[in-house]
Structure 1
Amino acid sequence: MTYNPDFLIVYGTLRPPFDNTFSQYLRQRGRYVGEGSFTGQSFDMGSYPGAVYQSGSQSLVHGSVFDISNQKAAILTYLDYYEGVGEGFEQPTEYIRAVVPVQFNDQTTDCWIYLYNLSTDDKPLIESGDYSIHIGKPFSWPA
């Protein structure tokens, strides 16, 4: 696995059709490179999703992949704040930033991702693995 990849996959409120300040920031500084998926499950947290990575799982989580190489440190620092990731937040944090293998553009590439870090026992599973479909706002690009 690449320790510090140049790609980021987003599967929730950072992905179109969402248009919050943080999703706008990502679209302005990163370069959208396609749709991707990784093995795992996605859960409905109420007004946003949480995903867990599961190597070898039969289920997939779908998201949008961005090349963030141009401003990687700035983008990740800004999104860490949005996701509540890092030492400045009460531990354990709701999300962690990790690297997972992602299928996109007919290849597998390591990508940064924000994974859910707490129990999902009482959370509804998003059967499709796609939060935008789950909430009735299917993904479209450009945003």
Structure 2
Amino acid sequence: MSTSETPLSHIFVYGTLLSASKKPMAQYVRQHSQLVGPGFSPGRLYDLGTYPGAVFDPDAETWVHGEVYSFRETGAPAFLRTLDDYEGAEYDRILVSVKTANGTVDCWTYRFIQPAQSLPLIASGRYFG
């Protein structure tokens, strides 16, 4: 897990943290940040069963779709540490450029770091868990 605590103010979510999710951690995200709106970044989204995993690749011809949230920089270290713990050892927190209706924004997100070649690809790039 990344230990960087650079106080950036955006996070890109694409799975169980989406605004439609009823998961407790999605509620935590909603309570500690504000939904900016939909966004997408080049990469591939894989079906891991009860949640997805994204592999981001600026040269990909497919997209990972999700949502961008903004959060207070003063609370960033604790907010991000909580999400790091939730995502666990299967993911690494990285920065990606996300396209939104208002332009491109750099966001923290979680990249799936386990072998993904044999996993089912979610061709639409959208998770509906």
Same topology, TM > 0.5: yes
Aligned to 1:61: 64
Deviations 1:63-103 (A, max 9, x none): 0110012522221111111001xxxxxxxx21000000000
Where structure 2 has 5 or more consecutive residues not aligned to the other structure, the ranges are 1-5
Aligned to 1:75: 79
Contact preservation (8 Å) 2:7, 2:77:
no
Amino acid at match of 2:77: A
Deviation at 1:4, TM superposition (A): 4.6
Q: Does residue 19 of structure 1 match 2:15?
A: no
Percent identity (aligned): 38
Where structure 1 has 5 or more consecutive residues not aligned to the other structure, the ranges are 85-92, 136-143
Which residue of 1, 5, 10 maps to 2:8? 5
Partners of 1:40 and 1:97 lie apart in 2 by: 15
Partners of 2:123 and 2:46 lie apart in 1 by: 9
SS in 1 for 2:41: strand
Which residue of 120, 128, 131 maps to 2:127? 131
Deviation at 1:58, TM superposition (A): 1.4
Q: Give the TM-score normalised by structure 2.
A: 0.90
Q: Give the TM-score normalised by structure 1.
A: 0.81
Return structure 1 stretches of 4+ with deviation > 2 angstroms.
none
What RMSD over aligned residues (CA atoms) do the two structures have, in Å? 1.3
